[in-house]
Structure 1
Amino acid sequence: MLRDADGTPLPQRFGPYVLFDLIGRGGMAEIFLGRTFTRLGAPRLVAVKRMLARLSADEQFGKMLIAEAKLCAPLRHANIVQVHDLGRIDGRLHIDMEYVEGLDLHRLLRLCTRRQLPFPPEYAFFILEEACRGLAHAHRAAADDGRPLHIVHRDLSPTNVLVSFEGEVKLCDFGIARAAAETLAPDEAAAETETLRGKFAYMSPEQARGDAVDQRADIFGFGILVWELLAGRRLYKGGNDIETLRLAREAAVPPLPRRGRPWEDAAQDLLDRALARHPADRFPDADALHDAIRDIILGFDIRCSQLGFAEFLRQHFAEQIVPLRRDRERALDLIAPPRHAAGQGGDGPPHGVERRSPRPNSTML
């Protein structure tokens, strides 16, 4: 039986949501697959990111998370996971996000390694181009009055790159890394909550030193993704978190491994600039980085399409994920059928097609 971090079994009701599957669990939050309803009464699957109780009780963290989430929620782009809502239910901070049926890049690469399945470089370039397009959109975002928002992701690690079985590529968790970085001491985050475990390896040197960062830190973080996808291994191989953090501060980046691929020189030129130690020496913005990736794809006739990538994912991984999730959704229908009329005992809105109002202990922010 699936249970949350507090030991409560799934499915469980959480405000207007019924949570019925656990997508992931980290040092800051758990991500659930849940069902809620649109204003017209139609069922809608959502990913609900619920912060752990200790972080939800941290007032400073809560204020920072809400401010950052509100800043990033208006982002609308095919390569960015949409944020639908944020709030606090039963004292727990949560973010209601678009559900992407697929897996994150970290899990995808681990499965490829486990199955000894080479990851085709054409799909690596496809992921990089699509993800960089989303990053460029976020970096260009402006307020209604035209003022630049200066959004910085700060955590472009593989777990924050999602790929769907339709071949979509989406970035997620804009703003959450800043909330953690500015409210939790690094030793507390790493040692107690594991918030930063695995994240040091994707930091720019200035971020690893604790200096102020701007969008050029994201250029460096994205450059690490480029290096690792094309090399097929981790960039920094520290034996522990302290060693990895030291490597990130030094930014001693080895050359891309050579395997006789025709685009390697062009890729190395891109990496030399994206992974420059000094921010001023990097690409000036994510649009320029995207153009460099696109130039390699076009210049070396690298054939990569969303349809081809989707077929690769479905052929090798869908059967491991989708049937189990469908079974749990069908089981939810038996336990809490989505009936829409009042008094029928389902999880639908209690007054016809009107969406259920938040309960007294639910505060939408």
Structure 2
Amino acid sequence: MSIDRPESSNHPRLLFTSNGTRYELIRRLGRRNNGELMLARRRYAQGPAGSVIIKRLSRPVSEKQKQRLKEEVQLAYRLSHPGIAKVYQLVLHGGLPYVVMEYVDGRSLETVLSVSAMRQRPMSEAFVCHVVSEVADALHHAHTLEDELGRPLGIVHRDINPENVRVGSSGEVKLVDFGVAYSLLPGREATTASVLRGDIAYASPERMRLEKVDHRSDLFSLGLVMLELLTGRHLYDLEDVEQSAREAGPAPATLAEVRCEEPSWVPVTEMAARIARFGPEDVERAAQGVSEPLRAVVHRALRREPSERYQSGLELRDALREFLVVQGRTYGRPEAAREVLLAVKEAELLRESADVLEPDVFPETPPRRTEH
């Protein structure tokens, strides 16, 4: 699901009113496993209107679901970082819970990858360093958050993927949706061991082994996003990785009963086999063409063993910023905004040309992976 190609609504309608503030539907944005996303206009009784994202969740039918919803909102309220989209409030209307969140006017990295595929050229290394370092900084905030008594909350996002990172129209980078995050909040309801939450195409090896994960699992997922931005190639979709997984034989019996909350482009057992079989040589093959210093960063981020990876978001952030300094590059929000805008315009021009010559050259959403 991408919120960059939304379904339009010609006649905005009132969703609900809360404490004198009206929330009007602008357009529906799509569904996720934990609810429907909508772009809405928030109108105050006195003062200007503004856009927000509203997640309409399914009606909690069990105490477990109610507890999970409570945990998600409690956790979101604690996160306060410029690189994390804010959660404003939880509203109950008509028996349904609505989570009101910050709207980031811009594009998701999912769309950026599609645009790169259209024009057949990835974004610049400077752009990737800027975006990934900002996400790493936001993750460091979440990973090191403590409660009122100074006890670590142990937050793990568990769903770092291109869809959950947005680049705003001014170049700001925002991490969104902590809806499947793990934490040590009091009263937390544990996820069933056999259920994988989030997009498993960006899962770490230890997560696919159904082991307990920590913040380093998020950093591995961010490394996968980084590699894809740099090259347009997904590590788990490399032909050699797929072939190696096929030759490895049946998946472990422990995965027989595993299910995913999010749909995947390959069955969970096959994805687990691919994740189990990739090695440094596959990372090197995927990163061909990337400059050597940045290739070293990718390699370390994608180590199979958590102890061999970057040990904090701060460490990864500093490595990427140091790369920019060494390269003599000044790159920030203005440069990121301009590069995304230029990439979109280039892709649109190519698409218009292709439409004239051959209508099916560029599908509505260019595929980045082989469907199985």
Superposition TM-score, scaled by structure 1 size: 0.73
Q: Structure 1 residue 110 and structure 2 residue 93: aligned?
A: no
Alpha carbons of 1:320 and 1:232: their partners in 2 closer, same or farther (altered >3 Å)? closer
Count of equivalent residues:
304
Deviation at 1:286, TM superposition (A): 1.2
Alpha carbons of 1:70 and 1:30: their partners in 2 closer, same or farther (altered >3 Å)? same
Task: Tell me the residue number matched to 1:124.
Answer: 128
Alpha carbons of 1:319 and 1:31: their partners in 2 closer, same or farther (altered >3 Å)? farther
Task: Tell me the residue number matched to 2:267.
Answer: 241
Partners of 1:303 and 1:20 lie apart in 2 by 38
Q: Structure 1 residue 166 and structure 2 residue 170: aligned?
A: yes
Task: Tell me the residue number matched to 1:144.
Answer: 148
Alpha carbons of 1:9 and 1:58: their partners in 2 closer, same or farther (altered >3 Å)? farther
Partners of 1:65 and 1:252 lie apart in 2 by 38
Deviation at 1:251, TM superposition (A): 5.0
Task: Tell me the residue number matched to 1:227.
Answer: 227
For the 8 Å contact 2:194–2:210, the answer to whether it is kept is no
Amino acid corresponding to residue 96 of structure 1 in structure 2: V
CA deviation vs aligned residue, 1:169-202 (integer Å, no higher than 9, x gap):
110112425499815953xx7xxxxx75xx1121
Task: Tell me the residue number matched to 1:284.
Answer: 311
Partners of 1:28 and 1:138 lie apart in 2 by 21
* Bigger relative CO (Cα 8 Å, ≥ 6 apart): 1
Task: Tell me the residue number matched to 2:283.
Answer: 255
Partners of 2:94 and 2:347 lie apart in 1 by 34
For the 8 Å contact 1:103–1:164, the answer to whether it is kept is yes
Deviation at 1:89, TM superposition (A): 2.3
Partners of 1:82 and 1:107 lie apart in 2 by 22
CA deviation vs aligned residue, 1:287-330 (integer Å, no higher than 9, x gap):
11111112222122244221121122334548999xxxxxxxxx
For the 8 Å contact 1:57–1:91, the answer to whether it is kept is no
For the 8 Å contact 1:30–1:50, the answer to whether it is kept is yes
Q: Structure 1 residue 19 and structure 2 residue 20: aligned?
A: no
Deviation at 1:27, TM superposition (A): 3.1
Partners of 2:217 and 2:89 lie apart in 1 by 28
Deviation at 1:258, TM superposition (A): 5.4
Partners of 1:31 and 1:132 lie apart in 2 by 25
Task: Tell me the residue number matched to 1:51.
Answer: 57
Deviation at 1:10, TM superposition (A): 6.2
* 2:39 equivalent among 19, 33, 37: 33
Partners of 1:250 and 1:82 lie apart in 2 by 38
Alpha carbons of 1:281 and 1:224: their partners in 2 closer, same or farther (altered >3 Å)? same
Partners of 2:35 and 2:118 lie apart in 1 by 26
Alpha carbons of 1:255 and 1:297: their partners in 2 closer, same or farther (altered >3 Å)? same
For the 8 Å contact 1:3–1:10, the answer to whether it is kept is no
Q: Structure 1 residue 70 and structure 2 residue 74: aligned?
A: yes
Alpha carbons of 1:250 and 1:64: their partners in 2 closer, same or farther (altered >3 Å)? farther
* 1:273 equivalent among 272, 297, 300: 300
Superposition TM-score, scaled by structure 2 size: 0.72
Amino acid corresponding to residue 113 of structure 1 in structure 2: A
Q: Secondary structure at the match of 1:255?
A: helix
For the 8 Å contact 2:122–2:230, the answer to whether it is kept is no
CA deviation vs aligned residue, 1:235-280 (integer Å, no higher than 9, x gap):
111672332232224453513345555x32x223323322222222
Q: Secondary structure at the match of 1:84?
A: strand
